[in-house]
Amino acid sequence: MTNTKDIASKLSVAFVAVAMIFTAFASTAKAQTTEDLQKMINDLLAQVAALQSQTGAATTAAGVCPYTWTRDLSTGATGADVKMLQMFLNADADTRVAVEGAGSAGMETEYYGPATAAAVSKLQVKYRSEVLSPANLVNPTGYFGPGTRAKANSLCVAAPVVDTDEDMDEDEDMDEDEDFELSGEASLDKFEMDSASDDELEEGAEDAEIAEATVEFADGDAEISRIDVQLLGDGETDTSS
């Protein structure tokens, strides 16, 4: 029998270091052996390692600004400014060029293809009143022309800034008076898994804290959006693959 575990997490975002501490709780925890708990820990470690390889994408996408585009762009165009445009578009989930593969965050190219045109269309729709309406257009064109370029330049006059005040208030371990400065791609600094007070459970126990994980990232922004935990009883087989 497989139980899905809810993960309670707290995220603290900063420019030099981002520390995220989360506690794993079992919503319908059953009595488990030491081997079962170790398997859960190994699964968590594997997912954190996978997330570590993805932490640079958001920083790369947001790092394009400030930047000014000086020419119009359309399908077939090539150049460094095309790559900068893709990075700019990828910085906003509403105008993303691609979710994965070529053109996605961290994998931008210097070719203005259909995916880039589609992302530009999303930008035009998002700022319809400032881009399409003044040109008496109803539908987006996918053409990075004067109006769209002017809007992009106005949005990219300064580097995007993450408001850390709210996040720091939520994390009692973060010194809110400390100054931070983003210095590079995020890297996994620390991962610790500790047994909770309820490491020995009776059959049928529910809502019991079975483990506590502490994760710290340094030198960049990082986010853990989901962790799947699978607990197997004696004689049960892993069916997740």
> What does the domain layout of the chain look like in residue ranges?
7-57+163-218, 64-155
Q: Which of 69, 58, 77 is nearest to 154 (CA)?
A: 69
Q: What is the pLDDT of residue 191?
A: 72
Q: Per residue of the chain (241 residues), give pLDDT as tens.
A: 444 444 333 333 333 333 443 444 444 444 457 777 777 787 777 776 555 444 444 444 457 899 999 999 999 999 999 999 999 999 999 999 999 999 999 999 999 999 999 999 999 999 999 999 999 999 999 999 999 999 999 999 865 444 445 555 555 554 555 555 555 567 777 777 776 665 566 777 777 777 777 878 777 777 777 777 666 666 676 665 5
Q: What is the pLDDT of residue 120?
A: 98
Q: What is the pLDDT of residue 59?
A: 45
Q: Which numeric CATH code is attached to 64-155? A: 1.10.101.10
Q: What is the pLDDT of residue 15?
A: 31
Separation CA 157–CA 66 (nearest Å): 5
Q: What is the pLDDT of residue 141?
A: 96
Q: What is the pLDDT of residue 200?
A: 67
Q: What is the pLDDT of residue 195?
A: 66
